[in-house]
Structures are given as C-alpha cells and as structure tokens.
Amino acid sequence: SKEFALIANYTDKTLLRNSMAYYMGRNIFNSFKWSQNCRQCHVYFNEKYQGVYLLLEKITIEPNRVNIANLKDCKNEKQFEHFGYILEFNYREDEEFNFITPKGVTVSLNTPHASQIKPELQQKIHDYILQFEEALYSPDFNVASSANYYGNYIDVDSFIDWYFINEISKNRDAKFFSSCYCYFDNADKLIHMGPLWDFDIGFGN
C-alpha cells in the first residue's frame, strides 16, 4: 500500500475524533471488511514544525484495503457484476461522474475515476443504485421472499454498524452530505457501507 493521507484535524482541537471513530470501526462495530488504521504524528517540513497530524490509510481498491475487483478492468457490460467500485454520497458533486437519485441523494463514483471506465458502465452503476432505491421505498421492501427485499442489495451488518458509529459520534456529514462511502463487492454482489471517513466535526464538535 502506497496511498496515505495526512489529516490536519484543524477543526478538532482534541485531535481525537477521527481516531476514535476509526477505532470503533476496527474494534467495536467491526462488521466492516476493512477499516483504516491511523497514527498521530508530529510533522516537520524543511525542519520547521507544522503540528500534530493524523497519518491515515486512504480508501483505495487493493488487496489489503477495499479488496474488490476494480471496475476499471471490466471490458464490457456483461462482466459488470464481476467487478467492484467505490461510491461516495457527496453533496459537492466534485467527482467526474455524479448523479442525483429520485429521492434526492447525490451519488459520486469515487473509484475508479469515470475516465477509466466506459460510459455504458457508468450508466450501469446509475441504474443499479436507482433500482436499489426503488426497492427500498417499495411496500414490500422488508419481505424476504420479495424481489424488492432490501437484503438482496446490501450487506445489512455493515449498514447497521455504520449507522451505530455515526449516531454515537453525532456525525453531521452522515445525512449523506459528504464523506459517506459505500462500495459494491463483486464477491457477494452486495453494496457494503463504509469505509469510515472524516469525523472531525462529529462527537458534538
């Protein structure tokens, strides 16, 4: 793994909020297939002290992080379900491919970048998320024998744990404003919530 982030946590004077959320994801509500490790560190640049930063594993598709087959390796639409991708609920719409669902949820393709996949695969992502939303708001969404059953689309445990952590932390971004990630796992053909990201304005901050 070569991709890491240095997080300033400028708005969090305790420097603990992100670390605490990731700790909960790894050790308490731990149904996520992967949750970041992080370390507090003193940062110097050109021998000048810059302060305490959080060194953090970035959300990437690779065997030791989000371990899914990358959609950028998909050759055609027929192979779509055999590859995975990472989405962000992202009010800013600052990725290459973004769309808004009929219920008003803004979805961005985070990984791979839209320029790395064919337009027809972007459309397949759009259609699949809208299909899931339509099923979720159907009258029989919680009937296991129904084609609209929500469990046919999502890894339920990861969604439950994601909600627990965001409720406990009072995460303001958790209303799907930004920094809320999920991914499609080609192994079980389900949407998994997570990995966690960005809790510096949580926990009552």
- Mean pLDDT per 10-residue run, the chain (205 residues)? 93 96 96 96 97 97 97 96 97 97 97 97 97 97 97 98 97 94 98 97 95
- pLDDT score of 87: 98
- pLDDT score of 110: 97
With contact defined as beta carbons under 8 Å apart, do 54 and 98 qualify?
no
- pLDDT score of 202: 96
- pLDDT score of 2: 87
- pLDDT score of 1: 81
pLDDT tens for each residue of 26-51: 999 999 999 999 999 999 999 999 99
pLDDT tens for each residue of 83-113: 999 999 999 999 999 999 999 999 999 999 9
- pLDDT score of 60: 97
